[in-house]
Structure 1
Amino acid sequence: MPIAPHFTSILSKDWVINFTQCAPSGYLKYTDLCNILQLTAAAHSEIGGISFSDMQEFNQAWVLSRMRVEIDALPKWGDVVTVKTWINSLENSRSVRALEMYVNGKKIVGSETFWVVFNTEIRRPEGLALPFDHFQLYPDTRATKHGFSKINLNHQKEMVFEKTVFLSDLDIVNHVNNVKYLEWCLDHIDEKLILNQQIASFEMNFLKELSFKDSVIIHKSLNENATTFSITKEDKTSFALQLNWK
């Protein structure tokens, strides 16, 4: 679709937290937090003329490569949250996008995301085929206190689960949806840590896509202040997650 008349380079969008998005504690699930952030990014790309449907004319889609989320608090059922987003950088096949979540004017979440333009036919990155010069960039306006870091996968680790990719794990790009990786890993965390909101921040690195009926192994390693997960297929790492504890 063409660029919307109301397009702006910084988008603010309100969301109402409903009961399907909440954990038994009544607070937003970490997975649904990521969904809301990504839906806001998608809404901005749509009014800016670089949405999934726009890009599919060239067999392209935005796919998430890295994501860092810093959490001061989680919203609860019934809260109206405002998510603000803007682009730090955008060139060729890569873009860094910032997102912030507010409740009653107070910032509670900051996120930095790294996106790649992906050709859905040849399954490889390539330069964006659509114009994007109308987006003003804000390279110095960051949403997080810290930038992306290298997730250390060299710690001693244990296998915690074996899984086959099901149809319900796939998204419109026909690979495992990025939030599914987080969901798989959080299922292997002490529920008290999740329900008591003990995650200060987390970082995800999406390395290789996973497809229908792939067989994967989930590994977990612990240290004093963090828990690290890796998901491997045929001994090659497809995904890494680091949870940093309060």
Structure 2
Amino acid sequence: MNGVELRPGVFRSQFNLRYSDVQAQGLLSLTAFLDYLQQTAGDHTESLGFGYREQRSQGAFWVLSRLSAEVSRWPEWPQTVQVDTWARGHKGLLALRDYALSQQGQVLARVSSAWVMLKNKRPQRPEAWTNIYQLVTPEPPLEELPPSLSMPEHRPEDWAQNLCYHSRSIDANWNDMDMNAHVNNRISVGWCLAAHRSDFLNAHHIQRLDVNFIGEVFGDQTYNLCWEAPVPSDDLVWNYALFPTGQADPVLRARITWRANRS
């Protein structure tokens, strides 16, 4: 376990950006960013005596349902960053967790997330599981509750048949899966970048990310990534959806607000 309790209810992990954590421009990659969040949340839970092994022994585990992130600046290799996290409370079946990614005291990214506790594959009331945390709100959340996303209007059968405006096929393989035998959330969100050419990605960075994790994503399956370019073209808010091949319901929806890099 890496990290310490910074103050009551707030847990901090520190990360040295590795060569494998950055993208072509030397900035922290989207998948590594999500990995840092996931690792810090896991270490926080581990520090309270209810980590992965304890959860599995009870047939229980946390599942990420929604996430919103706003990034003011992406850190560069080989810098060091800190990720703070805290459990904020719950709303219905969703347990709320926030994060702040910072460097030398400056907050670079703020994140709000919502999780579901599954026990024997059934959703549980979060009150029974969040009592291990000291619920705090050290700063206003980015979102009280990350938004539920909807895709632009299309017939579901069109999406399932890969007839959306833009699409590509993605194969999930064994290396994409985590210990819960699902494709990890950092991988499935990272697939959204496959909608873009390298010249677009080299010229832009993510300012805002909203994701809904709707269904399970498994290995050894083929998925259709569908997306719509914004209209007008100078608008940089893109919508994405991930569908199991031949199915009408997505397992993931995402919305990314891109910003052009400064020249």
TM range (shorter): 0.7 to 0.9
SS at match of 1:77: coil
Q: What residue is the counterpart of 2:159 in the other structure?
A: none
Is residue 2:229 matched to residue 1:239? no
Corresponding residue for residue 87 of structure 1: 87
Q: Secondary structure at the match of 2:254?
A: strand
Match of 1:172 among 179, 182, 196: 179
How many positions carry a matched residue from both structures? 241
| In structure 2, distance between residues paired with 1:68 and 1:132 | 21
Letter in 1 for 2:76: K
Contact 2:116 2:126 in 1 (8 A): no
**Conserved in 2, the CA contact under 8 Å of 1:55 and 1:130?**
no
The partner residue of 1:208 within 215, 218, 241 is 215
Measure the CA separation in 2 of the matches of 1:99 and 1:26: 23
Q: Is the 8 A contact 2:9 2:133 kept in 1?
A: yes
Structure 2 gaps, min length 5? 155-163
RMSD: 2.6
**Per-residue Cα deviation, 1:123-177 (whole angstroms, up to 9, x for no partner):** 3323469764342212583342675223230246424212332111211111111
The aligned runs of 1:47-126 (5 Å cut-off) are: 47-90=47-90, 94-119=94-119, 122-126=120-124
For residue 28 of structure 2, what is the aligned residue in structure 1? 28
Unaligned runs of 5+ in 1: none
- Structure 1 residue 210, shift from structure 2 partner: 1.9
* Residue type of the alignment partner of 1:67: L
Q: How many angstroms apart in 2 are the aligned matches of 1:105 and 1:5?
A: 16
What CA distance in whole angstroms lies between the structure 2 residues aligned with 1:59 and 1:93?
18
**1:146-185 correspondence runs (5 A):** 147-155=145-153, 157-185=164-192
The structure-2 alpha-carbon separation of the partners of 1:240 and 1:143, relative to structure 1 and needing over 3 Å to count, comes to same
CA distance in 2, matches of 1:196, 1:81: 24
2:161 matched residue in structure 1: none
Please state whether the residue corresponding to 1:236 is helix, strand or coil. coil
Counting aligned pairs with the same residue, the percent is: 18
In the alignment, structure 1 residue 217 sits paired with structure 2 residue 228: no
Which stretch of the first structure deviates more once superposed, 109-118 or 142-151?
142-151
CA distance in 1, matches of 2:144, 2:91: 22
Whole-angstrom CA distance in 1 between matches of 2:145 and 2:258? 17
CA distance in 2: counterparts of 1:54 and 1:113, whole angstroms: 22
Alignment check: 8 A CA contact 2:166 2:228 kept: no
TM-score (norm 2): 0.82
1:230 corresponds to which of 216, 223, 241? 241
